[in-house]
Amino acid sequence: MLDDTRTDDLEAETPLLFGRVLDGRGGGRTVTWQEANAWQPGTPGEVLWMHLRRDRPGVADWLEQSLGLPEPTAELLTSEDTRPRAFSEDGALVATLRGINFNPGAEPEDMVSMQVWCDGQRLITLRRRPLQTPRSVMHDLDAGRGPVDAGAAITSLVEHMIARMNRSIVDMNEVIDQLEDTDPDDDPESMLDKISTIRRNCLALKRHMSPQHVALERISRDAPAWFEDHDRREIAETIDRMRRYIDDLDISKESAVVLQDDLRARAVAQSNRTSYLLTIVAAIFLPLGFVTGLLGINVGGMPGASNPDAFWLVVAMCVAILVMQLLMFWRWKWFG
């Protein structure tokens, strides 16, 4: 797995995780924090991309002083308010996006946010927790098959982020398929735990993906002029893909509900059968217990107390009562 936790030793004390200057042909060269701060467009088509840690001290001040961002925008890009959104401001695109958290020990619904600011020549992405998507795009650049301009870089980041969501959804669907092929009587408690986890994950992912769907539509519709028509088409295709993922989440959730209802119905039916059998047993032994209890009272005048054959008479009477009960239960269809 790729993540963006690695930084050069020289950049360890700066907010910069990595920096690249896009050459306009799918490649890019590495830049340091000092070079990025002094960077000016050289050849036509060059774009500076800086991927920063937003929790480092002074990042908001740097955004205001070096890029001239308004204070509310700088605070938005460095804040913990990470609900997906997007808007244009003074020719720049500002967005907050969320991706699946694939960090060790994390749950899929524990989303990782990435803030984006771009004016067509400078692209700034910010994160707090490790995120794999920017590093994937960076490797594409290093291999010479990356985005060629700012708009393509943003669409590539969005595509990678949304594609990773599908991985989590596919994993959940595979678990559901396995559960459907499993005998419910083997380990129903474990199956219910897995189904409950899937339902929670589906709800959490949908809660985060729905506003992101709206944010991507805002990018496609309201992005500045440097965001070209082909970039808008790419974003539109990503939006369609995301709609399908949201539909898949609904299907996964409904499948989990059906499995859970089936398991619960089986448990209720088993409980009802057990109660039914206990009721029949109680109905059988109630009159027998009454007879034996009545004959077992220790008072004078008990019939048969001095008759050596009285015990067998009582046994015969109990057998006759049992046979009569069984016939009555059969006629009432209690055994059906």
Q: What is the pLDDT along the chain (336 residues), one digit of tens a residue?
A: 445 555 444 455 789 999 999 988 888 899 999 999 888 877 777 899 999 998 888 899 999 988 889 999 999 898 876 788 899 988 899 999 887 765 555 555 567 888 999 998 999 999 988 888 898 899 999 998 989 999 999 999 998 888 877 777 777 777 787 777 777 666 777 777 877 887 877 777 777 777 888 888 888 888 888 998 888 898 889 888 888 888 888 888 888 888 878 878 877 887 887 787 778 778 777 777 777 776 776 666 667 666 777 777 778 888 888 888 778 877 777 665
Tokens of 213: 């769907």
User: Which residue shows structure tokens 């991507």?
Assistant: 216
Domain boundaries of the chain, sorted by first residue: 9-265, 275-331
Query: Please, which residues have CB within 8 angstroms of residue 93's CB and are 6 or more apart in sequence?
Result: 86, 87, 116, 117, 118, 119, 154, 219, 223, 224, 227
275-331 CATH fold? Methane Monooxygenase Hydroxylase; Chain G, domain 1 (1.20.58)
Answering whether pTM is above 0.95, one says no
Distance CA 94, CA 59 (A): 16
pLDDT at 308: 74
Alpha carbon dihedral 144, 149, 154, 155, in 10-degree steps, equals -70
Q: What is the DSSP string of 51-111?
A: EEETTSTTHHHHHHHHH---HHHHHHHHSS----EEEEETTEEEEEEEE---STT--TTS-
Architecture of domain 9-265 in this structure: 2-Layer Sandwich (3.30)
Give the amino acid at 239. Answer: I
Written as six digits, the tokens of 234 are 């790419």
Token reading at 42: 């050289």
Under 8 Å CB-to-CB from 214, ≥6 apart: which residues?
A: 84
- Which residue is associated with the tokens 């009454």? 290
Rounded to whole angstroms, the maximal C-alpha distance in the chain is 123
